[in-house]
Amino acid sequence: MAEITAGLVKQLRERTGAGMMECKKALTEAGGDLSEAEVVLRKRGIASAGKKASRATAQGVIGTYIHAGAQLGVLVEVNCESDFVARTEDFQELVRDIAMHIAASDPQFVRKAEVTTAAVDKEKDIQRARALNEGKPEKMVDKIVEGRMAKFYEEVCLYEQPFVKENTVTIDQLIKTKIAKLGENIAVSRFTRFKVGEGDAPPMPAETE
């Protein structure tokens, strides 16, 4: 039997969206064979999330999270396919977890595709200048910048961030696990994070005599 390495578990997770423990169990059952382990997960209904990703999500809920002290709060819209799933405890738990994660990790975008061109170009310029200042060879700079951009996306994109309650799983993988369990496509549509003191205060009304 092939050794069940962390890298092998990660590969299976990326291919199926299943959780770490499910992937490890499937690999053990499959004797370390990656393709066979994927079949094991599919038989259990865990690896079906990818097929549902294109289905419309017109239902869902708006979740909230208010941190202790009421200085930090989040509103997040999480969508699914049916009102029935939106009312399930599993879906509600996912929404609460995502709202809490947003409060803790402060993402700026939902997905990589939503990062603005201006933000990407600015970060690339910063990382290029940083690499050159570190004395990296010119021919290696582009590759270094590409590697550092992966970290950038992890910092600013909700789906790329490690889940605060289990940092071996990204938010994307967390959602895929719920998709497989509930049998419907699930997607985060939008969110807003509020922190006392960070908003623009409205102008004071002019005094009248």
Does the predicted model carry a pTM greater than 0.75? no
Q: Given CA atoms 53, 56, 60, 64 in this order, what sign does their dihedral have? A: positive
Domain covering 54-111+157-195: architecture:
2-Layer Sandwich (3.30)
Q: What top-level class would CATH report for the domain 6-47? A: mainly alpha
State residue 197's pLDDT score.
83
State residue 2's pLDDT score.
66
State residue 36's pLDDT score.
84
Tell me the CATH number for domain 116-154. Answer: 1.10.286
Domains 6-47 and 54-111+157-195 share a fold: no
Neighbours of 124 (CB within 10 A): 16
Ranges of residues in the chain whose predicted pLDDT is under 70: 1-2, 15, 17, 42-56, 199-209
State residue 51's pLDDT score.
57
pLDDT tens profile 116-170: 999 999 999 999 898 888 888 888 888 888 888 888 999 999 999 999 998 888 9
154, 4 in Cβ contact below 8 A? no
Residue ranges of domains in the chain: 6-47, 54-111+157-195, 116-154
Alpha helices (H) in the chain, listed in sequence order: 6-16, 20-29, 34-43, 49-52, 83-86, 89-105, 117-133, 138-156, 171-182
Tokens encoding 93: 């738990």
Give the span between the Cα atoms of 53 and 61, in whole angstroms. 18
State residue 139's pLDDT score.
81
Tokens encoding 71: 């200085």
